[in-house]
Structure 1
Amino acid sequence: MQLHHAIWLFQLILATGLASWLSIAAINNLQAFHGSVWAIGNTMRMDPLRQDPTIETPLLRRALTSLAVHRLALVVVLVLQLGGAIAAWSGVALFVVGGGAIGDALPWLNLALCAMAAFLLLMHLGGLWFGYWIAQEGLQTTHLVLLLWTLALFFLFNARWL
C-alpha cells in the first residue's frame, strides 16, 4: 500500500467516525430527550452539590431550576449536533467522491468540527459556571477529552494547509 493511500484511509476512517459519533449523539438526545433534559437540569440545578455529603459553596446561588431553560440548552446542543452530523457526512461523501483529495471535503469537515467544538465548549463552560468540577469530575473530563479529540481531528484534516 502506498503512503498516500494509507493516509487517505486513516483520514476517511476518522471522518466517518466523526460523522457517526455526531449522528449517534444527536439520535441519543432525540430518542431520550426527556432524560437528556434531566441530565442537563441536574447540572444546572446543581443537584450533585446538594447530595450527601452536601457541599456548601456560594456558587449554589447560580442554580437554574427552569425546565424551559434546560430544554433550550438541549435544543441548542441538538441543533449543533445535527448540523455537525450533516456537515460531517457531506464531507465524508465528498472525500470518497474526490478519490482521496481532501480539499473539497475539508470545508465540510471543518464545519462539523466547528459545530462539535461549539457544543462541547457550551457544555464545558456551562458546567464550569454550575460548578461541575466539584462533584461531576467525570463529566468535565469527558468534555475535555472530546474537545481534545476535536482539536486532534482538526489538525489531522488540515495538516497540509497549516
Structure 2
Amino acid sequence: MLELSGINLIKFVVVAGLAFWSFLEGVGLIQDFTGAQKMVGKIMNMELIETSPVVQTSLINRRVSGSFWHKACAIILILFNFITATLLFVSLYSVAYSGWTVTGNEDFLIWANYGMALFLFMSFALSFVGLWFAYYIKQNDLMITHFVLIVFGITAATLINLS
C-alpha cells in the first residue's frame, strides 16, 4: 500500500490546486460572461493594435469581428476550464475512494494525465489563437501568461508522473 506522504502528497496538492483553479476560472468566466466575451472579442477584433500608438501591420486582415464568434470562443474557454477541473477532481476522487493503493494510484494517474493533457491543450490553444491575432504586438503580458501556463502544465505533468 502506498502512503499519502512525500511525493504523493505533493502530487495530490498540485492536482487539487489546478482542479480548484480551473473550476474557479470557469465560474468567474460564467459570472462575468459579458466581460469574458468582451475580453475575447478585443483579442479577436485586434482592437489594441489600433490604439495609440497605432501599429501598422498587414496582419489586421485576420480580424474576426462577429460577436457570435466572440461568444462561441468564450464558451469554449469555459468548457476547457470545467472539463479540466472535472477530470482532475475525478483523479482526486479515485484517491479518496480507494485510498492511495496501487489501484488508486493508477486511477489517479490516468485521470490526472487526462486533466493535465487538456490543460496543456488549452494553454497551447490560447497561445496559438493569440499568435494568430497578433497579441504579441500590444499584449505581451498575456502572451507571457500563456507561456507560463504551458511551462506550469509541463512541470506539473512531469511531477505527477514521477514514481
**Normalised TM-score (structure 2):** 0.91
Residue type at the aligned position of 1:47: E
- Where structure 2 has 5 or more consecutive residues not aligned to the other structure, the ranges are none
1:48 to 2:51 alignment: no
Residues 159, 8 of structure 1: alpha-carbon distance in 2 compared, 3 angstrom cutoff: closer
What is the distance in 1 between the residues matched to 2:92 and 2:150? 21
With 111-120 and 39-48 compared, the bigger mean Cα shift is at: 111-120
Residue 118 of structure 2 corresponds to: 115
Residue type at the aligned position of 1:144: F
Residue 133 of structure 1 corresponds to: 136
Alpha-carbon displacement from aligned partner over 1:96-149 (angstroms, at most 9, x marks no partner):
334334211111111111221122122110100000011000000001101111
- Where structure 1 has 5 or more consecutive residues not aligned to the other structure, the ranges are none
State the number of aligned residues: 158
| 1:57 CA displacement | 0.4
Residue 67 of structure 1 corresponds to: 67
Within-5 A mapping of 1:80-159: 80-101=80-101, 102-159=105-162
CA contact (8 A) 1:98 1:104 kept: no
After TM superposition, the runs of 4+ consecutive aligned structure 1 residues lying more than 3 A away are none
Look up the SS of the partner of 1:72 in the other structure.
helix
Provide the aligned C-alpha RMSD in A: 1.5
**Normalised TM-score (structure 1):** 0.92
